[in-house]
C-alpha cells in the first residue's frame, strides 16, 4: 500500500512551476503543482482526458474554455476533455494545487 503524507511543502522553482507526482496508475495520475508568483501553466488541451484542479494553498486564475476565474484554497474546477485549460499565479504568495487526470494521457507500465 502506498501512503502519502501531506507535508504541505513541495519542491518549488524560481524559474517555472513544478510538478510532484503523488499517485499514478495506468488509468489516472494525481500531481501537486506549485506556482511561485507570476508563474503559469500555458493553456493547453487534452483531447481524451478530464482534469480536475483543487487549490490547497494560495490563489490563482484558472482558465477552462473561454472562462477565467480566481480560485483559492478549497476551490476546485473541472477541465473536461477537449477544452483548453491552464493556471496562473497572479498573487504575491505561492499557489499549490492538486491536479487529477483520467484517463492517464501516457500510461506508465506497471
Per-residue pLDDT of the chain (110 residues; tens, 9 = 90+): 999 888 777 999 999 999 999 999 999 999 999 999 999 999 999 999 999 999 999 999 999 999 999 999 999 999 999 999 999 999 999 999 999 999 998 887 76
Q: Is 72 helix (H, G, I), strand (E, B) or coil?
A: strand
Please, which residues have CB within 8 angstroms of residue 80's CB and are 6 or more apart in sequence? 50, 64
pTM of the model: 0.92
Owner of C-alpha cell 510532484: 20
Amino acid at each position: 500500500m502506498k501512503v502519502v503524507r501531506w507535508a504541505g511543502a513541495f519542491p518549488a522553482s524560481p524559474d517555472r512551476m513544478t510538478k510532484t507526482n503523488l499517485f499514478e496508475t495506468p488509468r489516472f495520475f494525481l500531481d501537486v503543482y506549485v506556482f511561485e508568483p507570476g508563474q503559469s501553466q500555458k493553456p493547453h488541451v487534452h483531447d481524451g482526458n478530464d482534469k480536475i484542479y483543487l487549490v490547497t494553498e494560495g490563489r490563482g486564475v484558472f482558465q477552462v474554455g473561454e472562462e477565467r476565474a480566481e480560485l483559492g484554497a478549497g476551490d476546485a474546477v473541472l477541465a473536461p476533455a477537449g477544452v483548453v485549460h491552464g493556471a496562473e499565479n497572479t498573487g504575491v504568495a505561492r499557489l499549490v494545487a492538486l491536479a487529477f487526470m483520467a484517463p492517464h494521457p501516457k500510461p506508465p507500465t506497471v
